[in-house]
Structure 1
């Protein structure tokens, strides 16, 4: 059995499976996050968010898979009777993008549902997540990466009902610099504002909010944006104060089997110390706060 501190992953994602009374934990394999090769994506299973079994292989790339590195930020969503994995991938001769994979069970094996990423092929993209609108249309919400555009963007793109292809063109939701807490970074001589890990959450009031990550005076940081219209296309306004500014982030929100609301994120941000954390949340007038 493994404890949380034994698991070196970034970008933790928790899928509660009620029928099994098991949580499935996915994430970027920490040891491979920054290398030029990647072996696949694993998962862990547990019943209490403290002890885990695994890792189990959830995805291993087929021989003709288009990417060979940066297998980042896997998310697994139950959608229309199937399990879909959204993950970022990259190759030396291909820009980073979000590929969607499918499996009959949360442990996989996951296989691609399309030929290559669904995000634009000429964009550097990452951290795609699934959103289903009021008309039951699926969308991918993702980051247009700061390394290409300078001021990182979060965009939304309609998907076909089988999640295999985009429908129409991406919509810009907001840029990182719009958050008053966001600070410019300087990485390898390149300066800009980072967008990472969007996560959509509908409050009990019906308000739609988005948690996303960038950098602030506190290091890696989780902020909140609000949709003024209540729909995915916004417009989006930034909450002035971040949700968490303790050098941790790339978060998601899930409910425990007893109905509790929890935040999953990794901290600290620097390699090789990243570990998964799970903390309770409560809803407030401003959206969410950590208990």
Structure 2
């Protein structure tokens, strides 16, 4: 049995299995996060978000898999009777992209449902996440990476109902440089990563995302003024979390508490999963004091 502080993980994502009263924790788990050949993804399970069983291998690439490095930020969503993993991959001669994988069980094994990523192949993309709109239609939200365009941006595209292809052109949601709290890291470079959509109890649609501020790795939020994924989106002028932690997502615990999970600190190999209670406010979300 492991404690949360024993688990090195980046980009943590929690899937809550209410029927079996289990939390599943996924994330970037390769020892060589930034370089070297990638191993795959591992996951953990818990009853209380503190004591964890694992790790369990949930994805290991086949020999013919197109990517060999930067296996990042897996998310798992239950959709139409199956579990779908959205994760980022890269190879030396192909742009980074989000690939969708599928399994019949939360702990896998997960297998790609297409031969190539779902994000635009000529774009460097990462951190794709699934959003289901009010008409029960699926979307992918992802980052167009600053490595290619200097000012990182977040886009959305409609997906086919089997999640095998995009069926709309990319829609720009936000530009990192437009938020008041973001800082350029080098010569006008603005980072975007970790988008996650959350709908409040009163129906407001919020976008969590991460970048850099004057206190380090930081999570901010934006609000859709229309309540729909197409926006327009407005940045919250103040960040949600600004203490050297990020790539967050929101979930409700088995007892109904609203929770944010992030990795902190942001320096390898010290990253750990952190769980922080949240509350909804008139301005969106706030850390529970």
Q: Does TM-score exceed 0.5, indicating one fold?
A: yes
**Unaligned 5+ runs, structure 2:** none
Q: Does 1:240 align with 2:237?
A: yes
- RMSD of aligned Cα (Å): 0.9
Residue 267 of structure 1 aligns with which residue?
264
Alignment correspondent of 1:218: 215
1:285 aligns with 2:282: yes
2 CA distance for matches of 1:33 and 1:47?
Answer: 28
Contact map agreement 2:125 2:143 (CA 8 A) in 1: yes
Per-residue CA shift, 1:55-82, capped at 9, x if unaligned? 0010011111110110100000001111
CA distance in structure 2 between the partners assigned to 1:216 and 1:23 by the alignment: 31
Matches within 5 A, 1:1-291: 1-29=1-29, 31-186=31-186, 191-291=188-288
Cα shift readout 1:199-257 (whole Å, capped 9, x = no counterpart): 10001110101110000011000001000000001000000000000010000001111
**Helix, strand or coil: the match of 2:161?**
coil
Structure-1-length-normalised TM-score: 0.97
TM-score (normalizing by structure 2):
0.98
Deviations for 1:157-203, whole angstroms, at most 9, x for unmatched residues?
A: 111101011112111111001110000012xxx65000010010001
- Report how many aligned residue pairs link the two structures: 288
SS at match of 1:128: strand
Higher mean C-alpha deviation, range 52-61 or range 27-36:
27-36
Gaps of 5+ in 1: none
* 1: CA distance, partners of 2:76 / 2:263: 17
